[in-house]
Chain A
Amino acid sequence: MTGELHMLVCLKVVPKSEEVGVDRATNTLDRGNARSEINPPDMNALEAALALKDRYGGRVSLLSMGPPFVVPMLRVGLAMGADAAYLLSDRAFGGADTLATSLTLASAIRKIGDIDLVLCGEESSDGATAQVPPGIAAWLGIPQVTYAMDIELERGHILVTREIRGGEEVLDAPLPAVVSVKVSCNQPRFMDVEGMAGLDRDGTVTTWTAADLDVDVNHIGLAGSPTSVAGLREALQTVGRRREVVTGTPEQEAHILYERISEFVRSSSPRTQETST
């Protein structure tokens, strides 16, 4: 790390989950009138970056890939206190899987240059792969720390508390590095009172096309994606539950539940020796 800390936060704009369905005629995603939002864990990543900026100084840049309608979303990030924003917008980027997406983002990060810390949300609410942050790190050849709950900075290193299966661990990584941040690990601050004025201002977001990046167009977008979608469907509701309604006073209802639970516990297989107490 040289000079001031330069952080870059990757923000993905996603359609709101509950407003997306499958078009049964074409078997493609119907994003129709779905409203968009910044992917929630990416907001936690941005809050983590701004909190580091509050403590240690430095600056925060934003990077996103998507259509031009993403610009107002990046302005929201600027209103929260970020210093610069870049949007990668080109049809050539479209249809990318995680390999092509992480390559595109890594190419832009190289072009911006001098980034000490790349922060991402743990996963996106639309794809939920969680593979882009490690992918960016692999393309850039720098360390990665995923599922971060807390980040401290210490002499050019980061100390990251991260979630692991059944617990947590603290990792020490040199900078530059990529960190993915757990959803809800912090409370994203609301837009600054002064920052909100910038929501209506043009020219605050730099837009780049594929030609602006040093990347082979055959390695990005749909063309650069080794995986493809073989089928799509809406999740089915389960059928086959009894749906028996229990009625009465609370005490009567509780009594029926008690009888049924006891009966069920007796009839299902006995618990093993180690787990019963």
Chain B
Amino acid sequence: MTALVDRPATAANVILLDDDRWDRVLAATHGEAAACYQCGTCTATCPWGLVAGPSIGVRSVIREAQLGIDGWAEAVWRCTTCGACEARCPHQVPIGEVMLGLRGLAWRERTAPGELSSVLWDMHWDGNPWGRPPSTRSAWAAGLDIPRFDPGIHTTLLYIGCTASYDRRAQKVARAVVGLMRAGGVPFGTLGDDEPCCGDPARSLGNDAYFERIAAANAAQFKVAGVTDIVTVSPHCYDTFSSHYGAAGDQFQVRHYSQLARDLIAEGKLTFSGLEATSATFHDPCYLARHHDETEAPRAMLAAIPGLELAEMERSRSETLCCGGGGGRMWMETPADERFATARAREAAATGAAYLVTTCPHCISCLEDGVSVAGARDLKVIDLAELAMLAGCVSAPTTSPEASHD
């Protein structure tokens, strides 16, 4: 497909500014790039600098966004929205949002990579970005006998999300979260096959217009269902519901399950019998640690497990290294030598820990791949909820021996 972009005629060292385009770029990025004074810390912080292949010239992209000129092209699609640059930016430029805004402009101008359309079509036809049948959305829960959410009985909606619903590996995480919530005595239900996609893939691929439609439809569905308290399996769904549903999001409270577990532990409703002396290192998901400043809830859970020693990696908490799966990168191919997760797996292996613990389905997927590529065979990637079940916080959920890791 040909681009409809009017490219400014350029001669050597001459850049022609196009007012009309400038206006469009400004609108798409809400003028957020303006505060940048081009120090370049962002480019230096970007994890793309750690791997083979071209890095993202973050500073240049922001400059181009300020001036309304082209040049960013595919660079904006590589951003994982990990937020590492924003954390260091002296002028608090919301760089990730600028990147998403530029993606949004690409959708409007029909220059977005064609294959990403298929992700949005899968969401449209199937209600999930994996193109799986909506009629099998709750198949992960087979044998668990989870009730349909009923506001008269349940305080909390457990929102599973698309990846934990359909991905075989992440399904085990969903089952473990169910075990955790049952142990804590939380009255909860799910929406079964009617659970909608939260809209994160549309938002993180930059199609804000489509995301707004999804968010409006979901908010209406939750309202009808009487949902006021949501617990999510994935930090991405947590972020989407809590930060991007606008006023509609005010009708419900949202927590990531690690936050719920922390509260249950503090209230004495959740304890662990413990593990035989072992060690773990914790990988902070970007969408908890950096986007929501939540680094302690998962650690409170780890600290409550007798016999478990935590060996921190150098890059931890708000300094965490992105797994590579955010910003819609789960739906784009990354060559093996350009995956952050490989570097991350090596860092985790260097701690000597037996477990690489994290608490995000995308991180699990990327890190397992990273461990495999890095050849770190002794390192077991595990979700926090799965580890909690292993540590015997309760008996495992009814019929599922594989709800804990195998």
Contact = CB atoms under 8 A, between A and B. Distances in A.
Interface string A11-41: 0000010110000000000000101010000
Interface residues of A, number: 20
Nearest to A199: B213
A271 interface: no
Interface in A103-148: none
A193 B110 CA distance: 10
B121 A190 contact: yes
Contacts of B126: 16, 35
B110 A196 contact: no
B192 to A, nearest CB: 13
Contact of A196 (B2, B4, B118, B210): B210
Contact of B1 (A54, A76, A196): A54
A173 interface: no
Contact of A193 (B1, B4, B209): B209
Given A54-B1, A54-B2, A189 B110 contact: yes
Interface in B92-140: 104, 107-108, 110, 112, 114-115, 117-118, 120-121, 124-126, 133-135
B207 interface: yes
Given A55-B2, A196-B209, A189 B114 contact: yes
A19 B110 CA distance: 33
B226 to A, nearest CB: 24
Given A37-B125, A196-B209, A196-B210, A190 B120 contact: yes
Given A16-B133, A37-B125, A55-B2, A193 B107 contact: yes
A51 B1 contact: yes
B133 A190 contact: no
A43 B124 CA distance: 13
Q: Could you say which of A19, A51, A187, A196 has the most chain B C-beta atoms within 10 Å of its C-beta?
A: A187
B118 A193 contact: no
Contacts of B112: 190
Grouping DSSP codes into helix (H, G, I), strand (E, B) and loop, the B interface class, with mixed when no group exceeds half, is helix
B2 A190 contact: no
A187 B115 contact: yes
A10 B84 CA distance: 49
Contacts, number: 52
A237 to B, nearest CB: 18
Nearest to B123: A190
A95 interface: no
Interface in A175-203: 186-191, 193, 196, 199
Given A19-B135, A193-B107, A193-B108, A187 B2 contact: no
A196 B213 contact: yes
B2 A188 contact: no
A187 B207 CA distance: 17
Contact of B210 (A51, A187, A191): A191
B310 to A, nearest CB: 32
B47 to A, nearest CB: 29
Contact of B107 (A18, A54, A190): A190
B125 A187 contact: no
A227 B120 CA distance: 39
B117 A189 contact: yes
B108 A188 contact: no
Nearest to A35: B134
Nearest to B117: A190
Nearest to B114: A187
Interface string B136-162: 000000000000000000000000000
A33 B133 CA distance: 12
A16 B136 CA distance: 13
Contact of B117 (A37, A54, A187, A196): A187
Interface in B171-200: none
A6 B114 CA distance: 25
Q: Could you say which of A18, A33, A37, A189 has the most chain B C-beta atoms within 10 Å of its C-beta?
A: A189
Interface in B1-41: 1-2, 4
B353 to A, nearest CB: 24
Contacts of B118: 187-188
A156 B120 CA distance: 35
Q: Which 6 A-B pairs have the closest CB atoms?
A: A187-B114, A193-B209, A190-B117, A190-B120, A37-B125, A18-B133
19 contacts: A16-B125, A16-B126, A16-B133, A18-B133, A19-B133, A35-B125, A35-B126, A35-B135, A43-B121, A55-B2, A186-B114, A187-B114, A187-B115, A188-B118, A189-B114, A190-B121, A190-B207, A190-B210, A196-B213
Given A54-B2, A190-B210, A196-B210, 6 more contacts: A16-B125, A54-B4, A189-B1, A190-B107, A190-B121, A199-B213
Interface of B: 1-2, 4, 104, 107-108, 110, 112, 114-115, 117-118, 120-121, 124-126, 133-135, 207, 209-210, 213
